[in-house]
Amino acid sequence: MAPTHALRASELFSVKDYVCVITGGGSGIGLMAAQCLAANGAKVYILGRRREALETAAKSHNPEGGGEIIPLGPCDVTNKDDLEKVEAEVSKREKHINLLVCAAGIQGTKAEPNEEHAPSLKEKLWNQESPDVWNQNYNTNVTSVYFTTVAFLPLLQAGSETHGHLSASVIVISSMSGIMRHAQGHFSYNSAKGATVQLSRLMSAEFQKVRVRVNSIAPGYFPSEMTAKESGPDQKSELPPEKVMSKGHDVPAQRAGSDEEMAQAVLFLTKNAYVNGEVIAVDGGVLNVVAGR
């Protein structure tokens, strides 16, 4: 039974002395996760393909006092050699990690299925999509999540042995697009994110035997290089409400999600060791109005 003071938010969600690794940590949701974890006391290693972007993110957003954001890489998460190198580097510096966030991802091409004449629909989809793009999408959004998680399993298990049974975890950033039936013109991306959701569930069931939890966050519209198409000089992006409301379906929140709202989801899944195998949509209510599974 916990004393009342132990139920303060500062106690419940403190990640002081945690060691975290985040792929895609130089921008977007990966950077949001890095900021919130470092702000609450964690040492956070961010990985990405662009060393300059990682260094800029760390320099711009390291908190004063407490935790820190440390750039590591470059690392292409679709390359097993790169994953082995960064895992070895983290192992040299740390005896364990408490959290892995798989946030790296790509969107791919768009082919809107808005033709009502089948030959025209075939021509459009056939010409605007390619198997190479589909394979790249799956490789980045699904396959890399699996191999990144597998690479860090020993360090994660050591984290649970340090802080308690099933305390170490993986947070997979999937998408509301992997749950809905609306293609949004992104057949390859949405189907890949659907596979990412299922992969998260599979890993949660299989990896609990090594005392590692796996959960997923399925974001709606959040500012990132993917949604805004650019980052500012501090590696942050902006997504104005009018752009969110032009997506072709209702967005009940009428705006993009905030850094604070993503941070709340990340901290919850990081600290609550009784949650395993869940997919949490943080989508502003979109899945209430767009058909899901």
Burial class (CB in 10 A: 0-12, 13-18, 19+), 20: buried
Reply yes or no on whether the pLDDT at 249 is more than 80.
no
Lowest mean pLDDT among 7-21, 105-119, 164-178: 105-119
Q: What is the pLDDT averaged over residues 200-227?
A: 94
| Segment 55-65, tens digit of pLDDT | 999 999 999 87
Under the banding of pLDDT at 50, 70 and 90, the label for residue 236 is: confident
Summary mean pLDDT of the chain: 93
Domain at 4-289, CATH homologous superfamily: NAD(P)-binding Rossmann-like Domain (3.40.50.720)
Q: Tell me the catalytic residues.
A: 174, 189, 193
Provide DSSP, 158-217. Answer: HHHHHH-TT--EEEEE--GGGTBS--TT-HHHHHHHHHHHHHHHHHHHHHGGGT-EEEEE
Under the banding of pLDDT at 50, 70 and 90, the label for residue 199 is: very high
Please, what is the angle between helix 144-163 and helix 80-93, to 10°? 20
Residue with the larger pLDDT of the pair 18 and 109: 18
